[in-house]
A and B are shown apart, each in its own frame.
Chain A
């Protein structure tokens, strides 16, 4: 298994443990898996011998005849299966006998929130009772790092890495890669009640939209749809967990989109300041912060945020942990292309 798949498999087990799930009592046909995933980079050593025999020294050209004769046979037979983006959900379904709906949403940093929205919709149509929903990603490898550097999105604050990811801060200079996986157990309320589960939060709203002009209008529509579905207004929100990449352009349009819906006063927290960008895993992992926050009464503040960029008309919560005083949290995610997702959760009482 490639590293993102290992992370996913581990997180799924942790979620089942935490939810005290007795798998023997689950109906496999009603047990689904919805995952957010991205491209999984090939591990370079696996192709090195093939490259060594097939490149004849001519710059940038592989001799495909030699590759076919001598290169290809040096690669291990299941090579491709190690890297298919549906493999995290697939391995989890096999390990836990989840025979219900199984999907892998591949929408970059919005993947796991969109996967969560889909699981929520499948539960609404009575297509399953129980889901493992999450995401996984690791771009901290040579091939993925090269590509991210070429996209010119990464911070270069190499002298103080822990201060490099600075969401909405006036001195931000790019995002910081993180890696990991997050998995949430999502189930129908009656199903949870019958198995005596400890309920952590209720998912009450979801919205998705496309931000065509990258000006925040699409993000605002996704948030409005999620709030409408939840039947609440912005004043009911305890906090918003932003995407908060820490890049110059994206933080501005995100803040502008959010402010169209929540105004300038609702506390905004950006978890990435502390953990970096977990990519396809980011939505699920960051939502877990809000679920714990609502449950325990405090939410970690945004770190590395000293002065809000005047172009970002929102109230970023920094300093001491945020004291929870309202029952709802809004979590958003988006891609740099414009795919947007928003989820509303309610503290369980």
Chain B
């Protein structure tokens, strides 16, 4: 029999609070985390709002934050969320476990490029009349003004490296960056690593912030973001007919995954069991999901097969639900294709209606939401749901939370570029 994997710790830094509990309380209250962007002057961007993490100070979470002095928000959020998850699991300073069997698998985003200095150097080295860019001028200027520490912190392996070094997690160390699917993929693969015996414990999750000038510029150019500037808190409206794009969020989520017998032996509190993981690619377009939901369907079916559950046993779906035209209709189609008539009986909600889209970190905070649903017997709503879309005709738990007993929950994450991930998390029942 394959090794079973359970969750024994969770941590979250999100636009709706600085812990898994606060985040869930806010979701059950139907609160929007969205507001005007204050990280930079976004007044004249097509999109002026986002779901920012409020009043975050790393020093309130760890005693020596100097290590992260040059880090981006991605790594700073990660450090705090990891501390919560490890503390929750009783493993922060636990010396009785073998820390070489404790690995890290993050789906963490990049740090932030030095927007102002980079463009300043471009300006100095470029003649717009002749369109000549003088590379020696650029490089000399950049060498003078770029900060080595801040440049190093942009690299994609640094977040996972910091957590391993700081929290003494000396097992296998991975980071994947598959856009919006990253932290779900990290959790799925970390689960498999424990199943196959590569580790007994994994810290898995992700952290990301793209609420910076380059990030908002990039998404605005793709016309992926909502531009409902006059009412930001109502902009993220998954499955609603009037949806016009997603709302950027930021934050981090971490879970401690543990082999079941290992958790039992040390008397850990078991929060939930990881029962299913599906992973596919659309192999269709860089920009859009396949219109028939090909990859999403295969992915959900893959997770069901992996869990050995019948499709009738899924009680709740936390949707990818981005509030873009294409995602929400394709995801609805895929759910109907997999679950048949029963799709209409399953509550499907989108946490992104309140949290915004945490990009690489989205999957993990949504999985944490599912674990909270298992415990509390309450399903969070999809807020801002006003006008039904004939292509989106499932039960999206509109606007108010619902009491609902859930034993098995499905969480979907679909990435730009076609990576699809589905996770199934179940109440632990021995």
Binding site for B on A (CB under 8 A): 28-29, 32-33, 37-39, 42, 44-45, 47-55, 59-62, 64-69, 72, 75-81, 84-87, 89-91, 93-94, 96-108, 110-111, 114, 118, 121-122, 124-125, 127, 142-143, 145-147, 149-152, 208-212, 218, 221, 335, 337-340
Contact = CB atoms under 8 A, between A and B. Distances in A.
Given A104-B177, A108-B157, A150-B146, A94 B138 contact: no
A104 B164 contact: no
A339 B157 contact: yes
Given A38-B156, A121-B192, A142 B135 contact: yes
B67 interface: no
B220 to A, nearest CB: 7
Contact of B116 (A60, A86, A104, A122): A60
Nearest to A211: B170
By secondary structure, the B interface counts as: mixed
Nearest to A66: B44
B38 to A, nearest CB: 13
A29 B196 CA distance: 22
B399 interface: no
Nearest to B102: A210
Interface residues of B, number: 88
Interface in B95-129: 100, 103-104, 110, 113, 115-120, 122-123, 126, 128
Contacts of A52: 122-123, 126, 128
B44 A338 contact: no
A101 B281 CA distance: 6
A69 B44 contact: yes
A56 B45 CA distance: 18
A65 B185 CA distance: 38
B220 A64 contact: no
A94 B283 contact: yes
Given A79-B221, A212-B164, A106 B170 contact: no
B158 A337 contact: yes
B267 interface: no
20 contacts: A38-B155, A38-B156, A52-B123, A55-B120, A62-B115, A64-B41, A68-B43, A72-B220, A80-B219, A85-B156, A99-B295, A107-B175, A121-B192, A121-B193, A150-B151, A209-B170, A210-B164, A210-B173, A212-B165, A221-B170
Contacts of A54: 119, 123
A50 B145 CA distance: 20
Nearest to A59: B120
A103 B186 CA distance: 10
B336 interface: no
B280 A103 contact: no
A98 B415 contact: no
Contacts of A44: 122, 133, 135, 138
A37 to B, nearest CB: 8
Interface in B126-144: 126, 128, 131, 133, 135, 138-139, 142-143
B279 A101 contact: yes
B138 A142 contact: yes
A124 B197 CA distance: 12
A110 to B, nearest CB: 8
Contacts of B228: none
Given A78-B287, A80-B221, A93 B281 contact: yes
Most chain B C-beta atoms within 10 Å of own C-beta, residue among A81, A149, A218: A81
A118 B189 contact: yes
Contacts of A72: 45-46, 217, 220-221
A85 B154 CA distance: 13
B147 to A, nearest CB: 8
Interface in B21-55: 40-46
Contacts of B128: 48-49, 52-53
A39 B152 CA distance: 11
Given A29-B298, A106-B157, A121-B193, A338 B164 contact: yes
Contact of A62 (B119, B151, B298): B119
A78 B119 contact: no
B154 to A, nearest CB: 7
Contact of A210 (B104, B122, B179, B287): B104
A68 B115 CA distance: 14
Interface stretch (B76-84, B318-326, B416-424): B416-424
Contact of B146 (A37, A67, A89, A146): A146
Contacts of B42: 64, 68
A328 to B, nearest CB: 21
B156 A39 contact: yes
A91 B117 CA distance: 32
B198 to A, nearest CB: 7
Contacts of A76: 221
Nearest to A217: B170
A103 B45 contact: no
A89 B176 CA distance: 12
B411 to A, nearest CB: 17
A125 B161 contact: no
B172 interface: yes
Given A38-B156, A45-B133, A81-B416, A107 B173 contact: yes
Contacts of B169: 210
Contacts of B175: 105-107
Contacts of B103: 208, 210
Nearest to B147: A150
A99 B146 contact: no
Contacts of A77: 221-223
Nearest to A73: B221
A146 B218 contact: no
B281 A100 contact: yes
A93 B217 contact: no
A264 to B, nearest CB: 25
B294 interface: yes
Contact of A146 (B131, B139, B157): B139
B176 A103 contact: yes
Contacts of A37: 177
A337 B67 CA distance: 13
B143 A81 contact: no
B174 A81 contact: no
B161 A338 contact: yes
B298 A99 contact: yes
B155 A39 contact: yes
Contacts of B285: 94
B349 interface: no
A121 B40 CA distance: 43
B195 interface: yes
Given A48-B133, A75-B221, A337-B165, A62 B148 contact: no
Contacts of A145: 139
Which of B177, B282, B417 is most buried by chain A, counting CB atoms within 10 A of its CB? B417
A67 B44 contact: yes
Nearest to B169: A210
A103 B170 contact: no
Nearest to B150: A150
B174 A97 contact: no
B74 interface: no
